[in-house]
C-alpha cells in the first residue's frame, strides 16, 4: 500500500498541478494553500473590503476584528505572553530588515553580531549591512558535518563583545533543527539580544516563545500554507519597545504636527500604512486550518515520506546529501553531473524541485558545491510524488551519464 496524504484534497492548487502533470516538491520555497485560505481571501473582498483601525463603519469594524483575530491566533501559535508581542510585516525578510534597522541605535563600533554558517540570505545580509554601517564585526558560527551549529566552538565565539545573536532554527538547505536553548541562554546571559529565524521551523509545528526564550522571532505566512505578502515579527515584552520606528505614515502616529510628531508603541507603531488586510485575515485561516488537524499525524506522515526520500536517494551511486537532514527536505549533488543539467531534465519531466544556491550562497561555498538540488515535502505530498520523482531521476541520470 502506498502512503497517501489525507489532506491532499484540501489543496486546490496542488490538484491543479496534478492535472497539469506537475509534481510539486518545492514547498520549502512556498507552500500550496488550503481551500479555507482561498475562501478567506475571497470572503474579505467579496463581502466588502474596508481598511482597518480607522473606520467606525460596519465593514471597517468587521475587517479590523478579523485582522486583529489573526494577532490572537498567531500569539497562541507561538505561545507569546501577549497578543501585543506580534507585529505584522510583509514577510520574514521584512521582519529581519526591520530588526536590523530598528536596533541599529543600540550598536557601537567594535560590537559583534553572531550568525551561523547556515543562514538564509535574509538572516545574513541585513546584519552584514548593519555591520558595515556601524563598523561592527560579524562572527560566523561553524557547523558540524551533520549540519548542526558547533556548540563547543560557539561557546568561545559568543563573548563579551557579542551584542546580538541571529540564527535560524531550521536551515532551508540542511534541514537540521538547531538546539538553540543553550545558545540563546548563553547570549542573553552575556547581555546580547537574540533573534531566531523561524521561517522553516514553524512549518513543522507550533513554537513556544516563552520556552525558547529569544527576544525576537520571525516567520512568513506563505511557507505556512497562508498567503504571501504577510509575515510576522514576535518580540518579547520590552524588546519590541527597543526598536526605533522605521516606516512613518498613517496609523503609526500618536500626534502628528507639521514640524514634529509622536508615535505609537509597538505593535501598531511598527505597522505604518495600510497593511495587507486580506492576507493577514487569510493567514489566520491558515492557522485555523493547521490547528484543526492532528499535529502528530502530520508529523508522522512527513517523517514517513522523508524516510522514503532519504532511503531512495541513498540508492544512487555518487549522490551526495548536504548535511544529514532531519526534516522534510533533502539537498543533494551527484558526482560528475552538473546540478543545473539534472534539474533541467527533471523539470522537463514535470518535477518541480529547486536548484541553485537556495538563498544560502556562503553555505554552499563552504560545503564546496556551487549548486544543489532540493526536494522538499509538505503535509499534502503522497508517496506517488516520490515515485514520480525517482522515476524521473533514473531517466535523467541515465541520459547524463
Ligand atoms: C524563506 C526563508 C526566509 C525568508 O522568508 P521570505 O518569506 O522570503 O521573506 C528566511 N529564512 C529562511 C530559513 C527561509 O527559509
Q: In testing the pocket of ligand 1, which one of 174, 197, 227, 331 has its CB within 8 Å of the most ligand atoms?
A: 197
pLDDT confidence tier of residue 56, bands split at 50, 70 and 90: confident
pLDDT at 54: 82
pLDDT in tens, 286-321: 999 999 999 999 999 999 999 999 999 999 999 999
What is the residue extent of each domain of the chain? 6-24+293-398, 36-289
pLDDT, one tens digit per residue, over 233-256 is: 999 999 999 999 999 999 999 999
- Does residue 24 register a pLDDT over 90? yes
Q: DSSP string of 149-187? A: B-HHHHHHHS-TTEEEEEEESB-TTT-PBP-HHHHHHHH
**Beta-carbon contacts of residue 378 (< 8 Å; ≥ 6 apart):** 27, 31, 32, 203, 225, 302, 328
User: Which of 334, 28, 382 is CA-nearest to residue 174?
Assistant: 28
Q: Which CATH class is domain 6-24+293-398?
A: alpha beta
pLDDT at 55: 78
Cα–Cα distance for residue pair 84/91, rounded to 1 Å? 18
Query: What does the mean pLDDT of the chain come to?
Result: 96
**Per mean pLDDT, which range of 178-182, 224-228, 270-274 is the poorest?**
178-182
CB of 190 within 8 A of CB of 158? yes
Instruction: Give pLDDT tens digits for 368-389.
Output: 998 999 999 999 999 999 999 9
Rounded distance, CA 149 to CA 352, Å?
Answer: 30
pLDDT of residue 358: 86
In tens, the pLDDT along 84-135 reads 999 999 999 999 999 999 999 999 999 999 999 999 999 999 999 999 999 9
The 10s digit of each residue's pLDDT in 322-341 is 999 999 999 999 999 999 99
Most ligand 1 atoms within 8 A of CB, residue of 31, 92, 356 to mutate: 92
1 pLDDT exceeds 90? no
CB-CB neighbours of 369 under 10 Å: 16
- Residue 97's nearest CA partner among 120, 124, 119 is 124
**Pair 282, 67: CB distance under 8 Å:** no
Distance between CA atoms of residues 284 and 76, nearest Å: 11
- Tell me the backbone φ, ψ of residue 319, rounded to 5 degrees: -85, 125
23: β partners: 351
- What's the average model confidence in pLDDT over 127-150? 96
Does the beta carbon of 123 sit less than 6 angstroms from any atom of ligand 1? Answer: yes
**CATH code, 36-289:** 3.40.640.10
Closest Cα to atom 5 of ligand 1: 92
Same fold, 6-24+293-398 and 36-289: no
Taking only the tens place, the pLDDT of each residue in 161-210 is 999 999 999 999 999 999 899 999 999 999 999 999 999 999 999 999 99
Per-residue pLDDT band for 275 (boundaries 50, 70, 90) equals very high
320: burial class by Cβ within 10 Å (0-12, 13-18, 19+)? middle
Would the CB of 119 count as within 6 Å of ligand 1? no
pLDDT category, 220, cuts 50, 70, 90? Answer: very high
Q: Which helix (H) or strand (E) holds 220?
A: strand 216-220
Distance between Cα 56 and ligand 1 center (Å): 36
Q: How far apart are CA 215 and CA 185, in angstroms?
A: 11
Amino acid at each position: 500500500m502506498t502512503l497517501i496524504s489525507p489532506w491532499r484534497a484540501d489543496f486546490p492548487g496542488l490538484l491543479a498541478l496534478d492535472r497539469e502533470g506537475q509534481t510539486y516538491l518545492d514547498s520549502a520555497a512556498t507552500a500550496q494553500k488550503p481551500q479555507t485560505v482561498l475562501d478567506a481571501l475571497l470572503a474579505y473582498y467579496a463581502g466588502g473590503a474596508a481598511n482597518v483601525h480607522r473606520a467606525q463603519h460596519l465593514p471597517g469594524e468587521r475587517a479590523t476584528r478579523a485582522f486583529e483575530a489573526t494577532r490572537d491566533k498567531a500569539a497562541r501559535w507561538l505561545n507569546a505572553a501577549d497578543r501585543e508581542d506580534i507585529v505584522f510585516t510583509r514577510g520574514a525578510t521584512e521582519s529581519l530588515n526591520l530588526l536590523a534597522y530598528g536596533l541599529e541605535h543600540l550598536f557601537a563600533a567594535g560590537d559583534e553580531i553572531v550568525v551561523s554558517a547556515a543562514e538564509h540570505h535574509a538572516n545574513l545580509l541585513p546584519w552584514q549591512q548593519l555591520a558595515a554601517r556601524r563598523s561592527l564585526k560579524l562572527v560566523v558560527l561553524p557547523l558540524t558535518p551533520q549540519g548542526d551549529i558547533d556548540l563547543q566552538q560557539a561557546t568561545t565565539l559568543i563573548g563579551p563583545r557579542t551584542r546580538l545573536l541571529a540564527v535560524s532554527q531550521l536551515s532551508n538547505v540542511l534541514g537540521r533543527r538547531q538546539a538553540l536553548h543553550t545558545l540563546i541562554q548563553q547570549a542573553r546571559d552575556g547581555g546580547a539580544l537574540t533573534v531566531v529565524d523561524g521561517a522553516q521551523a514553524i512549518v513543522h509545528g507550533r513554537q513556544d516563545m516563552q520556552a525558547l526564550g529569544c527576544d525576537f522571532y520571525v516567520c512568513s505566512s506563505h511557507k505556512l500554507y497562508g498567503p504571501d505578502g504577510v509575515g510576522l515579527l514576535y518580540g518579547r515584552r520590552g524588546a519590541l519597545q527597543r526598536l526605533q520606528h522605521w516606516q512613518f505614515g498613517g496609523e503609526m502616529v500618536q500626534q502628528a504636527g507639521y514640524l514634529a510628531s509622536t508615535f505609537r508603541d509597538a505593535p501598531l507603531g511598527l505597522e505604518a500604512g495600510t497593511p495587507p488586510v486580506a492576507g493577514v485575515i487569510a493567514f489566520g485561516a491558515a492557522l485555523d486550518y493547521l490547528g484543526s488537524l492532528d499535529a502528530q499525524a502530520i508529523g508522522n506522515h512527513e517523517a514517513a515520506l522523508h524516510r522514503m526520500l532519504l532511503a531512495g536517494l541513498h540508492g544512487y551511486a555518487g549522490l551526495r546529501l548536504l548535511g544529514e537532514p532531519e526534516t522534510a527536505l533533502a539537498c543533494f549533488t551527484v558526482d560528475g553531473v552538473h546540478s543545473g543539467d539534472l534539474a533541467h531534465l527533471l523539470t522537463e519531466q514535470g518535477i518541480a524541485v529547486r536548484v541553485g544556491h537556495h538563498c544560502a550562497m556562503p553555505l554552499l561555498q563552504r560545503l564546496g558545491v556551487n549548486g544543489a538540488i532540493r526536494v522538499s515535502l509538505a503535509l499534502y505530498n503522497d508517496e506517488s510524488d516520490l515515485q514520480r520523482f525517482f522515476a524521473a531521476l533514473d531517466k535523467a541520470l541515465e541520459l547524463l551519464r
